[in-house]
Amino acid sequence: MVAILRFLGTNCEYDIEYTCKILNKECAIIWHKDNTLPSNTSLVVIPGGFSYGDYLRCGAIARFSPIMKDVIKYASNGGLVFGICNGFQILCEAGLLPGILMRNKDINFKSKMSELEITSNDNKLLKGYTIGEKINIPIAHADGNYYIDSKSLEKLKENNQILLKYSSDENGSIEKIAGICNENKNIFGMMPHPERAIDKALGSDDGIRILSNVYS
């Protein structure tokens, strides 16, 4: 069962719920003030949005919501967690993923289709992809500028934790990083929105393959 978290300001929970329905995956939307995840949770998805209005820093307040204690426990025990956009920001703030997301280099909100390059496929999220393969997934963020210190960046490279890179310098992210995972490869975060690329009528259906992988 996919547990979809909802914070004050989350706005992509129904998009994720819809993808679960078309992929025949049971799901439930979980309120941030709940203390525990459902006992049959097989995946936690933290959707995009603007939790707590991005006050203080994007994801910094949501990180302290009651449900996050159980998410951290669940992830620490090997449970799968997938953060998209604001969800990625929350995972970084919670210390479940390394690095931080900062304001885009040009200080502008970006909402557009973005070409991505697959840089790792030895993980559940991107299994079956070819290294260097290009996909098109939309972005929608003001704080998508991924930063990590040089020592930790080298560790990401050594452990093959960099999942996706932008084909162009979209927002100033160090080495064009668009998505990463933790060392154990059970926690994933990406700024682009795969749930908004599930049908060619939307401009791309490249996202459905990512979601199908992680839901399975």
Q: What residues act catalytically? A: 85, 193, 195
Tokens coding 39: 């006992």
Q: Are 119 and 156 in contact (CB under 8 A)?
A: no
Sign of the CA dihedral running 165, 170, 176, 182 = negative
**φ and ψ at 83, to 5 degrees?**
-110, 130
The CA distances from residue 47 to 29, 44, 176, 194, in Å, are 10, 10, 22, 11
Sign of CA dihedral 173, 179, 21, 134: positive
Residues 83/93, Cβ–Cβ less than 8 Å:
no
Indicate left, alpha or beta for 135 from its phi (over 0: left) and psi (-120 to 50: alpha). Answer: beta
